Amino acid sequence: MKRFLAQIFSTRRQPSPVVFESPCLPDGPLAVVGDIHGRFDLLLELDSLLVDFPEEAPVVFVGDYIDRGDDSRAVLDLLSQPGDALLRKIVCLKGNHEEMCLSFLDDPATNGRAWIRNGGLQTLASFGVSGVGPGSGAKELRRARDALAIAMGDRLIDWLSALPLIWQSGNVAIVHAGADPCKPLNAQSSQSLLWGHPDFTKRIREDGQWVVHGHTIVDEPMIENGRIALDTGAYATGRLTAALLDEGGVEFRQTRR
């Protein structure tokens, strides 16, 4: 009898499974663009993706503009000074690859090899810097850092350093990599926002907040339990993905090369 009563009590105390049912409600129409990774050619096709989208709607980039692709410098130059090339209000977030580049500039001997192994070599080449590789020593890495700092200039370095980690509209948050589902969005660590969190795809947020992100490559853009994944591996696949959000829902559009 005691065992039977214990089973009933245990069953009654079982928490109900969390179900994400909150509608996606940004303050107004907005577009979010996935990881570019040096694909300047795909960035130039952005206007064709948004041709019928409201011109006043913000366009938010999730970060990782550099590395792996061949034209990181051109991507940074355009996004940091859009001018007539992107006739829209744009918001650029920082990705982990921008963070790695800044860490290289800060301490090349400690941080240079990891960045170079993860695509930094292509970024260096786009700025005309050569003579280093994954096995380079501290002297060569410092020389490359000095050359890169001169080629980038203070304006571009300051722009990268000041990039925000999160942007919000209504119940939609846009980040680079992910967020801790157990913490409010205004209490996230930079580690979670730039590199992801182990529970991000395992636990459903209970505050009704949607999170749009890149960082983790997916075969196709996807929506799952309030998460919208946009990184379709543009540098390798030739597919740069944008998500168009409004009160009517989410629409994905892609460039293909």
Q: What is the pLDDT of residue 14?
A: 57
Residue 194 has pLDDT above 70, yes or no: yes
Residue 199 has pLDDT above 60, yes or no: yes
- What does the mean pLDDT of the chain come to? 92
pTM of the model: 0.91
Residue 4 has pLDDT above 60, yes or no: no
> SS3 of 91, please?
strand
Q: What is the pLDDT of residue 70?
A: 95
Q: What is the pLDDT of residue 256?
A: 83
How many other C-beta atoms are found inside a 10 Å radius of the C-beta of residue 135? 9
The pLDDT tens digits of the residues spanning 83-137 come to 656 667 899 999 999 999 999 999 999 999 999 999 999 999 999 999 999 999 9
Helix axis angle, 108-115 to 138-161, nearest 10°: 80
- Tell me how many helices (H) and strands (E) the chain has: 10, 10
| Contact yes or no for 38/70 (Cβ under 8 A) | yes
Residue 149 has pLDDT above 70, yes or no: yes
State mean pLDDT over 26-40.
97
Residue 8 has pLDDT above 60, yes or no: no
Q: What is the pLDDT of residue 143?
A: 97
| Contact yes or no for 65/72 (Cβ under 8 A) | yes
Q: What is the pLDDT of residue 237?
A: 96
Q: Which domains does the chain have, with CATH numbers?
A: 23-95+163-256 (3.60.21.10), 96-152 (no CATH)
State mean pLDDT over 153-179.
97
Residue 82 has pLDDT above 80, yes or no: no
Q: What is the pLDDT of residue 11?
A: 53
Q: What is the pLDDT of residue 208?
A: 93
Q: What is the pLDDT of residue 18?
A: 72
Strands 59-61 and 90-92: parallel
Q: Give 257's pLDDT tier (boundaries 50, 70, 90).
A: confident
Q: What is the pLDDT of residue 5?
A: 47
How many other C-beta atoms are found inside a 10 Å radius of the C-beta of residue 123? 31
Percent of all residues in the chain with a pLDDT value above 70, rounded to a whole number: 91
